[in-house]
Structures are given as C-alpha cells and as structure tokens.
C-alpha cells in the first residue's frame, strides 16, 4: 500500500489523482477531481504525448505548438461545419462553428474573445476563426467579400505587428473585427476597430526587437525600380530600424512579405498610386529619423546646411526645406498678449522630431484602417455579426510604463466581462429557475477598475495634471499618494521610490514608473510642424491630418490608435486668433477609456465564446512545455483562475442534472505542488460513485 503524508504546512493530503482512463481527456470538465495540478497534468499529457494543442473546458484552451500543423485546411473546415461542438475534437474551428450556429439559431450577435500573453498565438487563432467564417458562409455577392476580409490580415500585420523578444510577429495594437452577415447568414462585409497602437516603437526598439514589419519590407524591396525614388537601402542604415540590432527574422523573407502586402492592398481596392503614397510616407519617416542636430548652446540647436536626410524627407513629403528646418529647431509660444518664437535645445529638437515621426505614422495607420473598412463595407443591410477580439494580454515587466498601464486596464475590463458572463449572470439565472445551488463567491475586480477610471481615479488625476501648466510626473505621483495611499487597499507606494506606484491587479501586483506618463498621455507634437505638412504639394499627406482640424489643440495632437468615437469639433474661443478650447483636447487615456467602454457595451450585447492561448516556453521550442510557465499562465489567466472557472462549470452541470453529490474540492495550492505533480491515488470505493460529466 502507498503511504501519503500530510503537508507539514497545510496539514492536508496531496491533491486527489484522476483515474488513468481520464488522463488526456479532451474536456477538462469531465475530470473526476478538478484542481489546478490536475488541469496542468491533463494539458501536459495532451500536449507532449499526443501533440494535441486544443482542450475543451468553459473556454477553449489553445497551446502554441511553435510548429506549422496540418489541421487548418479546407477539408478540416468542412469536417467541422454543421457539427455539434461536443462531437468533435477540440479546435478553434469548433468554437467558430458554435458561434456561427448560435448566431443563426438564436438570432443573436456573437463574439469570440481571444486572449493570452504575447507569443501565445492570439493573432493566429483569430485569423483561423475568420478563415472558418469566410469558408463556410460564402459570399452574398460576386465581389468575394470573404477574400477581402482575409486580405485585411497581411496589411494590418505589416503596419501593426513587430518582432519582440517574446514573439516574432507580435501585434502591437488591439483589434475587434465585426464580420457582418445577411439574413441567409452569408458574409456581406466587415468592420475593424483598433486600440492603442504602440507608437513609441516607431522611434525606439529594445535590444533584439524590430520596428513594424513594413519598414523592413520596404528596405528589402529598395532595389525595385518603382522604389528607387524612395532613396532607401539596408535597414541598418536607418536610426529607426537598427536600434534593436535584429533586422532579420529567421525564416521570414521581407521582400516576399512586401509582395504579399501589396497583393492584399490591391485586392482591397487600394490603388497603385495610393500604395506608392503609403510607401513614400513610410520612407519619409525613416529619413526623418536620420536627421541630426548640432548644439549652438544649452538652449538652441541647428541642422547642418542642406542636410541630406532632411532634404530627402522634404522631397518625399513635398514640403519646403527651409521651413521644416526652421520649425524642427524652434517652436511658437503664445501668451495672453503676444506670440513669440523660441529656439529649442538639441534634446528638445530630437524629442520633437521623434514625436513628429510617431504622429505621422499614427495618422497613416488610421488612414489605412479607414480605407480597409471602406473596402469591407457593404451596401447590403447587415442582419447579424460575429466579432473577433484579438487584444493584448496582461503585461508586467521590470519597467512598466503608460503602455502597460493601459494594457492591464483593458485586461481588467475583460476580466470583469468574463466574471459577469460566467459567474454572476449564470448564478442569477440558476436562482431565478430555483435550481439547487451553492453561491460561489467569485473575485469581483470592480474596486480595481474604480481605482483606475472613477472620479479622482488614476486616469482622472492624470488628465487633470496634463492640464496644469507646470504639471510633471513627480507632482502627479504626489497627488496619487495623497488621494489613494492608505485609503485604497489595491494601491501601494514602493518603499524605495517616490516616482512609482503599485496596483494589485486581478492577476498580479504591478509596479508602474511614473516617468513619461504625462508626455505619453498628452501625446504632444508642435503645431507649426503639422502646418508645414498640411501645406504639402503631395496630395495624400494633408489628407492624413484632416481630423486634426476637429480635435487638435494648438500644441498637441490626437491620440494614437483608432477608436470608434465621434470627434467633436472644437469651438473657437475668444482671445488670440485660432485658439481652440482646451477642454476639447482628448488625451490618450481619455480616448482609450471611452473606446473600452464602447467595446464592453458591444461584447455585453453578444453571446461570448472564449479562447485562452497559452505560451508553453520562452524559447519558441516546438511542443516543449516549461512547467513553471504553465503554472504562471494558469495563475495569471486573463479569463480568471482557469481551474476555478472549470470547477464552477462542473458544479453547474451537476446542479442542472439534479445530482446531489459534492463536487471535487479545489484546495488552495502552492506552485511547488504544481511543479512536483504529487497526487493522492484514491481507493476504488472513493471513485465508484463519482459521476463523469461530459
């Protein structure tokens, strides 16, 4: 007989072990004993022994195999079409079919919410879901709308994806694509919303990372006859593409990828002239990054005469060299009584140059999104839609800034949406139907959301500080401490820093560095530089800045990324000519908060389907799980504690079937126990009466 000893700390036996017949089960809710070690063991067995990357539960669990698998062809799509989800092996196509079937059966819009950390396979999963809908539904017209929907992927990946240390094709923006259907449930079109483009990547890349793919595609195609006017060369020649020291991605031919990008543009109806206009602007950004400044003194700088990078930039942009040269080294300031021109230092000029490059890229990104949406728009009335959400997962690094704050805020909102759907609404339904039910006390993250977005919350105080003439990151930090420290349990101050704050998120504690928050939230760019670009003889360039007339303030620009908000025209105010009301300036945080609220309204009006992507290791090794990483992903699941959700679902099935037996207990566990995988083997009598639920 085997002997099992109590844990000296918890005074408990090891977790109960499932019968061998259930090891590798494709539905986690069918496990007799459901706890995190059992979930981990089951996922590992399926992944390593059977090379199976999908597993059912209350969400579809998808583990990135880091290998191309022959399981996404049209024959596989046809095999899943029309089938019941429980009758087929776990697959992204099964989830897509279930969403398609429920849309037709219930006449209710659907959403597929794909989440996970960078490198977990979110974008690929979203693409396969879109491919499924495009294949099974057919087109309502002769225009092959489904082909256009799929063609949007390579375009958006080229301008919105980049190589990071974690992922060779990391999406640096969030997107929600609504695929529209007519009354016969055939695709008629689509519409895409994008969120929080990572603009800082345009001018800075960390070690072993790249800028957006499109820049390297351009450089790799520099010798093409039509590209000679762009005056490009190797990516190592440009400041904006060489910083990470990683211009090549193993197994990727950037020149071939450029051909795919151009083909997709053509399929979506973007003309050759507009395509060349896009490439002309992108090349201009690269040359702008090579513009150098020489200090005159501590407070002023100059650009060398006929500086070649600036000459090429002005030639490509169709603007006057002397005028642009002047406003790169000066800025206009206005007081209540006068306007004057002030020189700026070398550092200020460099920062202003980078801000201009980021602003141009964000405007071009928005222009491309708008044109993709125009190409996907249908005159046929939409009867229903299925939305596919591919958005960044929870992030925590050694240094966390404004970008991580916004990303984690978005994940808090998605976690709340999941809680609402899986726990709160279902429990209310059971009580309404008088089904025997033990109330589950699930984690409610509303206090954390309140800390971020309520009145006098972190975003509110940030916006207020951005309005202050002498507001700084340090003064904002002090206001945070005064407002929330020792008053909100989720807010902390680091012991050794007065320039950072800590938030206890649903997944983990994250320390944010305050430096740069105000600048990134204001998204400042000098108005005079924008005026020079608006005067361009290159017709396409002024088109990018048309919405600035509605939303830009005298010294700053609209936020990055695309939001579905209607911009309100700023009303002229009394005072100096051309001044706009400051209250109409929308900060990045303000726009992002509003766009998230609209996204949540959309998701809550649909039936959601969840796909949880897991990254098995940090080295991109095929079918090689690192146990500690699996533990971390289960603990930090952005759909909530995965096993807790599973236990809830198992109890639901038990309650609905009228079973009175007690569900398996989910014990608090240490991650050491997960790694050692120690289980208690129950006796035969202890499993005889255990109902296996499928």
Query: According to the annotation, is 116 in a ligand binding site?
Result: yes
- Please answer whether residues 585 and 553 qualify as being in contact, where contact means their C-beta atoms are separated by less than 8 angstroms: yes
The top-scoring range by mean pLDDT among 126-140, 453-467, 602-616 is 453-467
The top-scoring range by mean pLDDT among 162-171, 454-463, 651-660 is 454-463
Q: What's the pLDDT at 162?
A: 95
Average pLDDT, the chain: 83
Q: Is 292 in the active site? A: no
What are the residues whose beta carbons fall under 8 Å from the beta carbon of 614, sequence distance 6 or more?
A: 43, 61, 62, 63, 64, 116, 120, 630, 633
Mean pLDDT, residues 335-352 = 92
Pick the more confident residue, 27 or 614: 614
Q: What's the pLDDT at 642?
A: 54
Which neighbouring-strand residues pair with 5? none
In this structure, what are the phi and psi dihedrals at residue 614, rounded to the nearest 5 degrees? -120, 135
**Residue 533 pLDDT more than 90?**
yes
Task: Count, in order, helices (H) and strands (E) of the chain.
Answer: 26, 18
Q: Is 685 in the active site? A: no
Could you tell me what percentage of the chain is helix, strand and coil, using 3-state DSSP and rounding each to the nearest 5?
45, 15, 40
Band of residue 101 on the pLDDT scale cut at 50, 70, 90: very high
Band of residue 494 on the pLDDT scale cut at 50, 70, 90: very high
Q: Is 111 in the active site? A: no
Choice among 111, 118, 553, 559 that is catalytic? 118
CA distance 362 to 396: 25
Mean pLDDT, residues 469-493 = 97
Range name among 23-27, 59-63, 320-324 with the lowest pLDDT average: 23-27
Q: What's the pLDDT at 614?
A: 87
Which neighbouring-strand residues pair with 491? 503
Choice among 55, 158, 161, 170 that is catalytic? 170
Q: What's the pLDDT at 52?
A: 82
Q: What's the pLDDT at 224?
A: 97
Q: Is 395 in the active site? A: yes
What are the residues whose beta carbons fall under 8 Å from the beta carbon of 556, sequence distance 6 or more?
A: 522, 523, 524, 525, 585
Query: According to the annotation, is 543 in a ligand binding site?
Result: no
Q: Is 171 in the active site? A: yes
**Residue 678 pLDDT more than 50?**
no
**Residue 209 pLDDT more than 60?**
yes
Mean pLDDT, residues 79-97 = 93
Choice among 26, 42, 64, 123 that is catalytic? 123
* pLDDT tens digit sequence for 359-406: 999 999 999 999 999 999 988 999 999 999 998 888 888 889 999 999
What are the residues whose beta carbons fall under 8 Å from the beta carbon of 7, sequence distance 6 or more?
A: 13, 14, 673
Query: According to the annotation, is 135 in a ligand binding site?
Result: no
**Residue 505 pLDDT more than 80?**
yes
The top-scoring range by mean pLDDT among 135-149, 177-191, 563-577 is 177-191
Strand 509-513 relative to strand 500-504, pairing? antiparallel
């Amino acid at each position: 007989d085997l002997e099992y000893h109590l844990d000296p700390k918890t005074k408990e036996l090891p977790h109960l072990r499932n019968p061998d017949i259930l090891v590798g089960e494709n539905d986690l809710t069918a496990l007799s004993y459901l706890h995190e070690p059992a979930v981990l063991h089951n996922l590992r067995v399926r992944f390593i022994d059977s090379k199976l990357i999908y597993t059912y539960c209350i969400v579809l669990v998808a583990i990135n195999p880091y290998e191309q698998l022959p399981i996404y062809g049209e024959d596989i799509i046809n095999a899943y079409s029309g089938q019941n989800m429980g009758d087929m092996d776990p697959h992204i196509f099964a989830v897509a079919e279930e969403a398609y079937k429920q849309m037709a059966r219930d006449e209710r819009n659907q959403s597929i919410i794909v989440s996970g950390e960078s490198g977990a396979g979110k974008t690929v999963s979203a693409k396969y879901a879109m491919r499924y809908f495009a294949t099974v539904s057919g087109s309502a017209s002769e225009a092959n709308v489904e082909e256009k929907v799929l063609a949007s992927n390579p375009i958006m990946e080229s301008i919105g994806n980049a190589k990071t240390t974690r992922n060779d094709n990391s999406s640096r923006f969030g997107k929600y694509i609504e695929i529209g259907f007519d009354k016969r449930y055939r695709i008629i079109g689509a519409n895409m919303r994008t969120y929080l483009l990572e603009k800082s990547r345009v001018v800075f890349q960390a070690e072993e990372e790249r800028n957006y793919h499109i820049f390297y595609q351009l450089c790799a195609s520099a010798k093409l006859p039509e590209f000679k006017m762009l005056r490009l060369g190797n990516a190592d020649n440009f400041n904006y593409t060489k910083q990470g020291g990683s211009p090549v991605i193993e197994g990727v031919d950037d020149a071939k990828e450029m051909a795919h990008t151009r083909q997709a543009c053509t399929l979506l109806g973007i003309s050759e002239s507009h395509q060349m206009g896009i490439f002309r602007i992108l090349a201009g950004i690269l040359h702008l990054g090579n513009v150098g400044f020489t200090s005159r003194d501590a407070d002023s700088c100059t650009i060398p005469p006929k500086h070649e990078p600036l000459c090429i930039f002005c030639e490509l942009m169709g603007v006057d060299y002397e005028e642009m040269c002047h406003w790169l080294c000066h800025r206009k300031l206005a007081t209540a009584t006068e306007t004057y021109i002030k020189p700026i230092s070398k550092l200020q000029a460099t920062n202003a140059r980078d801000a201009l490059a980021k602003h141009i890229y964000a405007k071009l990104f928005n222009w491309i999104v708008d044109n993709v949406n125009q190409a996907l728009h249908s005159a046929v009335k939409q009867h229903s839609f299925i939305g596919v959400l591919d958005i960044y997962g929870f992030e925590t690094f050694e240094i966390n800034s404004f970008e991580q704050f916004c990303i984690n805020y978005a994940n808090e909102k998605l976690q709340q949406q999941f809680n609402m759907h899986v726990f709160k609404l279902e429990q209310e339904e059971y009580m309404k139907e008088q089904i025997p039910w033990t109330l589950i006390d699930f984690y409610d993250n509303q206090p954390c959301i309140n800390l971020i977005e309520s009145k006098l919350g972190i975003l509110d105080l940030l916006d207020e500080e951005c309005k202050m003439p002498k507001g700084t990151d340090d003064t904002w930090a002090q206001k945070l401490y005064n407002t929330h420290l020792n008053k909100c349990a989720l807010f902390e101050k680091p012991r050794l820093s007065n320039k950072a704050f800590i938030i206890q998120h649903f997944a983990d504690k994250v320390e944010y560095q305050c430096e740069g928050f105000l600048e990134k939230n204001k998204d400042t760019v000098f108005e005079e530089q924008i005026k020079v670009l608006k005067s361009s003889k290159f017709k396409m360039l002024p088109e990018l800045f048309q919405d600035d007339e509605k939303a830009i303030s005298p010294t700053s620009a609209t936020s990055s990324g695309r939001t579905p908000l209607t911009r309100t025209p700023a009303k002229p105010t009394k005072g100096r000519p051309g001044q706009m009301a400051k209250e109409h300036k929308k900060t990045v945080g303000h726009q992002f908060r509003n766009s998230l609220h609209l996204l949540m309204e959309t998701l809550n009006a649909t039936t959601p389907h969840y796909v949880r992507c897991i990254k098995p290791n940090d080295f991109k090794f095929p079918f090689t799980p690192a146990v500690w990483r699996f533990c971390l992903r289960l603990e930090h699941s952005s759909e909530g504690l995965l096993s807790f959700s599973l236990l809830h679902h198992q109890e639901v099935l038990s309650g609905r079937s009228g079973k009175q037996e007690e569900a398996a207990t989910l014990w608090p566990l240490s991650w050491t126990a997960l790694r050692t995988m120690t289980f208690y083997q129950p006796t035969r009598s202890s499993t005889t009466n255990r109902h296996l639920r499928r």
